[in-house]
Structure 1
Amino acid sequence: MIRVVLPAHLRTLARVSEEVELQLDGPATQRAVLDALEASYPVLRGTIRGQATQRRRPFIRFFACEQDLSHESPDSPLPEAVATGVEPLLVVGAMAGG
């Protein structure tokens, strides 16, 4: 089981109040987690990664175990603590402006 914490605006869109728990069929990677998240919550398709490119959207970041995983390959294994459900994968919406 993988635990995912979404930013408030995506929790509202998906109609979830807290973290999301997902079951993965294969290895725990960013791609596998996002595939499972979008399959469980189709309304989130295109909000975290582009539908055509499958690349992380600007101003979205991924954190786990006090590490920024945003620039890791989507097929890299997630930290063991995330893969086992001990720690959540955090999806963070960055803020910008002037």
Structure 2
Amino acid sequence: MIRVVLPAHLRVLAQVDGEVRLDVEEPTIGAVLDALEARCPVLRGTIRDRRTGRRRAFVRFYACAEDLSHEPADTALPGPVAAGAEPFLVIGAMAGG
């Protein structure tokens, strides 16, 4: 079981409270995002581009205090995240000046 923490605006959009718990066969970034979008179809296109599947520019992924935002989709998640001890974080990046 993978625990996913979404930013507040995506939790509201997906109508979920707290963490989203997902069962995935292969604990990779792509598999988690596929499972998240399957469970919450309204999130399709908000985290990743629908056509390319690439991460949106102002979305970041973290696991065990490690930035995984620029890693390929087939990157395995750290052991504590795969075991459900630590969450996979989806963060909305800040921008402005």
Cα-Cα RMSD: 0.6
SS state at 2:30 partner? helix
User: Quick one: distance in 2 between partners of 1:95 and 1:77?
Assistant: 26
TM-score using structure 1 length: 0.97
User: 1:1-98 counterparts in 2 under 5 A?
Assistant: 1-24=1-24, 26-98=25-97
Give the CA deviation at 1:14: 0.4
Give the CA deviation at 1:2: 0.3
User: Quick one: distance in 1 between partners of 2:79 and 2:22?
Assistant: 15
- Which residue type is aligned with residue 5 of structure 1? V
Unaligned residue ranges in structure 2 (runs of 5+)? none
**Could you list the per-position Cα deviations for residues 18-66 of structure 1 after superposition, in whole angstroms to 9, with x for gaps in the alignment?**
0100011x21001000000000000000000000000000010000101
TM-score using structure 2 length: 0.97
User: Quick one: distance in 2 between partners of 1:66 and 1:21?
Assistant: 19
User: Quick one: distance in 2 between partners of 1:72 and 1:58?
Assistant: 14
Unaligned residue ranges in structure 1 (runs of 5+)? none
SS state at 1:53 partner? coil
- Which residue type is aligned with residue 70 of structure 2? H
Identity %: 66
User: Quick one: distance in 1 between partners of 2:84 and 2:3?
Assistant: 6
User: Quick one: distance in 2 between partners of 1:27 and 1:82?
Assistant: 12
